[in-house]
Structures are given as C-alpha cells and as structure tokens.
With several copies, the nearest count.
Chain A
Amino acid sequence: MRVLDADAAVADVADGATVLIGGFGTAGMPFTLIDALVRHGARDLTVVSNNAGNGSTGLAALLAAGQVRRMICSFPRQVDSYVFDDLYRAGKVELEVVPQGNLAERMRAAGAGIGAFFTPTGYGTVLAEGKETREIDGRAYVLEYPLRGDVALIAARRADTAGNLVFHKTARNFGPVMATAATTTIAEVDDVVDAGGIDPEAVVTPGIFVDRVVAVGAEQRIAAREGASA
C-alpha cells in the first residue's frame, strides 16, 4: 500500500476503465478522489455505484464532465439526480439497472473468485429477461455473473500503514465489497495511523485489498460533503 495525494492516486486511470465508486447517496462517497478523477479527465468510463449522483458534486460532477459512458447502479433516480437525469434523457449516458443486492453480490463474487451464482432476486422480472434461470430445491433462481472493476474509489474512516481500513457507521456500505472487486483499490481516509493502530479484531477491510491511500483529513471530508449538499 502506498500513501499518495489524490491526483497521483488516480493518475493511471485509463480511458474506458470500469470504476467502482463507493457510497450510498453521499454517505461513503469518495468526493476527494472523484474530484481528482475529474481533474485527471479519463473518459468513456463505466461507473458502478449504487446511485447516479446527487446534486452537482461527487459522482454528479464526474457525470457532468462527460466522462461517464455507462452507469451500472441500482437506483439512479433521486430527488437531486438532475445531472444524471438530463444526460440519460438526452441519450448521453447508458444505464444498466441491477437490484441492489445482486449488485453487491456480483462484486463480492468478483472479489471471491466465484464464476457465477444463482440468486432468487429478480427472478420473473424484466431485469432478469434473457438470463439463465434454474429451479433448485423448489425455488426459482437467476444466474448472475461477477462484476469486476479496474479501479475502486472508496472512502473509509481510517487506514493504518498496512492498508487496513475501518469505516464510519453506514458510510461503510459498498466500500469493503468494492475493495475486493477491483484490480486497484484507492481509499480516501480521514487519517493514517501506524501499523498496530487499528485493533486486528476490528479491521473491516484487510490491507491486502487496498493499493493506495489518500489521507484527506476529517475537516476536508466534511467540507467536501457540505459542498455536496450545497
């Protein structure tokens, strides 16, 4: 694991990359890393995130910058998802809607080396049209495949120098799963402590899943968030 500044951390994100972006709404959204990705300018991205941006900052800013070709998410439509809504209606961004639990489980499968799995979620719905189905023990399932990222951008509360992460309340959400599913995982954190500074029993994401850490500071994180809700 290396500690970098945000611009250096995202410098090698390639055009056309699949980028997993943590967060449930703005809770757990890595604003600092997304801002750096906007400055970096990588284009034609496929972004996997639960929502499709709120207000005009964070993921919404990345969308507004025209860098996203395709969104894979569970719930794009929100009261303040106007940036996405306009792009979608104008045909400027593609959308794949995935049930939230299948979204999480597909990334879990990618990180866990599972080739495919049968899930009951979505069976009999339009979101399972064309997919393989099977009845197992009297229950109907849909076959779903892993969802991998080239890069994951996530936000955590704290890292240690071994790359271990802990999170903060429901801002944890997709972060730990995405960390396992990407070739390169980049975490923004409030602070970085020495190895041993996080209780080994309380580590949520082991350092093996974390490639780069950006220490943002709690103040900057709160400022970024307030920018987000402004």
Chain B
Amino acid sequence: MTTVESQLRTVEHADRGPLSRDEMAQAIARDIEPGSYVNLGIGQPTLVADHLDGDSGIVLHTENGMLGMGPVARGDAIDPDLVNAGKAPVTELPGSSYFHHADSFAMMRGGHLDVCVLGAFQVSQRGDLANWHTGAPDAIPAVGGAMDLAVGAKRVFVMMTLFAKDGSSKLVESLTYPVTGLACVSRVYTEHAVFDVGADGVVVRETHGTTVDALRERLPVQVRRLED
C-alpha cells in the first residue's frame, strides 16, 4: 500500500474492463496497512477479508463484541454464540478478545479503528454517506451500527457500484437518500474507479476500463486528477 499512498498521478487502466467485485475487494485489501484494526461491516465489504495477507497482522473487529474475528465457520466449527455483525457464524483467531456492546461501540466511536469498509446507496463529493435507508415510505427503518461505523473509524472506505440500476451516479453532489453520516467517507472504491472524497472535492486515484475524461461525461460532480 505504500506505493498507493505515495501515488502522485492518477493511473488510468483503460486497457482492461471494470473491476469485478473480488478485484474491488482486493484493491481495498491492498490499501489497508499491516497491523490495522479493521471493521468490514456487512454484505459486500466482508469480501475484503478474503484478500488480506495472513501475515499482515490486520485484526478484524465485529461490532457485536469481538476483535480477532476469523473466517466464516463451517461444519462442526459453527457455534451460534459466535457470529459476526451479519449474524453469520464465524471463528476466532489466536489473540482475539470479547467485550460487551457499550465497550465495542466506545471503541468505534472513540476512533480506535483504523479503517471501516461500508457499502453505500450514495456518497457525496464532500464524503457524506447514505447507506441505511432508501427513504421509501413503506420501508421499515433499520439502522443497526451504520451511523456509528460512519463516524467512528479513522478512515471510512466505501465499496459500491458507481451507478445505480437506473444508470444514475451514486457519487453525487449532495445526497438525496437519508443521511447516515456527514463528511465521514474518505475513499470510494467502485468497479470503474477509485476516488478520494472530502473537503477538497473528488479526486480520481485510478480508473479501470475507462478514463478520467470518460468518467467526467457520466458523473454529476467535478472530478480532479491527483496531479491537478
């Protein structure tokens, strides 16, 4: 990841297609420093775990009260009392620890996690996040730990498709979906490109199967190159 962090110019990989979900997960894994404490939320971001180097010393947190979470449990290893935030059975690694919910969320809210990876409905150019509610009037609201994760980690990465099914960009000028957290996302990984977002607006770090100029045609936000 050192190379990525010290990256000075936007890299355009136009000679290939967009990233697959696994390749997105791999790209995120590559950007997580060895020794980091990481929360992978639920759903797609949990794929990142498959791409973490076992020797990296990266420790996974699950907000239901555990550090040192191991892979999903199978067969006899399944213990219904050992589950992740998505309530799937998991395993424990040597050096793990258990704690109660107030301590677990104090750990998150207190900024002790290095990285949190979340899915999203929308991310704004300044890093506002919408990922908990579609706003549909008949939906039963359910927030879980989404708002806590959004404001808690030192760096919040979003993993999402760049465009919704109707073709609209999920990277937006201002959120139209209900807010999860304001100015909390630092980086957005999509199949077409990786973006930094925040007070300075949107910067394209790399593209996959497209170019910055081509993206500009399709996105409702101004984007810059790293070298701009």
* Chain A residues near B (Cβ < 8 Å): 24-28, 50, 74-78, 85, 88-89, 95, 97-105, 107-108, 110-114, 119-127, 140, 160-162, 164, 167-177, 180, 194-196, 200-201, 203-204, 206-209, 225, 229
Contacts and interface: CB of A to CB of B under 8 A. Distances in A.
A194 B93 CA distance: 12
18 contacts: A24-B65, A24-B87, A24-B101, A77-B141, A95-B141, A99-B146, A99-B147, A105-B102, A105-B105, A108-B102, A125-B181, A127-B147, A162-B95, A170-B65, A171-B81, A177-B100, A177-B102, A196-B94
Most chain B CB neighbours (cut-off 10 Å) among A125, A168, A171? A125
B83 A100 contact: no
Interface centre among A75, A123, A196 (most CB of B within 10 A): A75
Contacts of A180: 106-107, 110, 112
Contacts of A85: 140
Nearest to B100: A176
B145 A125 contact: no
Contacts of B54: none
A162 B178 CA distance: 39
Contacts of B108: 101, 113
A126 B106 contact: no
B58 to A, nearest CB: 12
Contact of B100 (A26, A126, A204, A225): A204
A113 B179 contact: no
A174 B103 CA distance: 10
B182 interface: yes
A209 B101 CA distance: 16
B95 A122 contact: no
Contacts of A78: 87, 142
A197 B81 CA distance: 22
A173 to B, nearest CB: 5
Given A121-B109, A164-B97, 16 more contacts: A24-B87, A26-B80, A27-B87, A77-B140, A97-B141, A99-B146, A105-B102, A108-B102, A113-B151, A120-B151, A121-B148, A125-B179, A172-B100, A173-B64, A173-B101, A177-B102
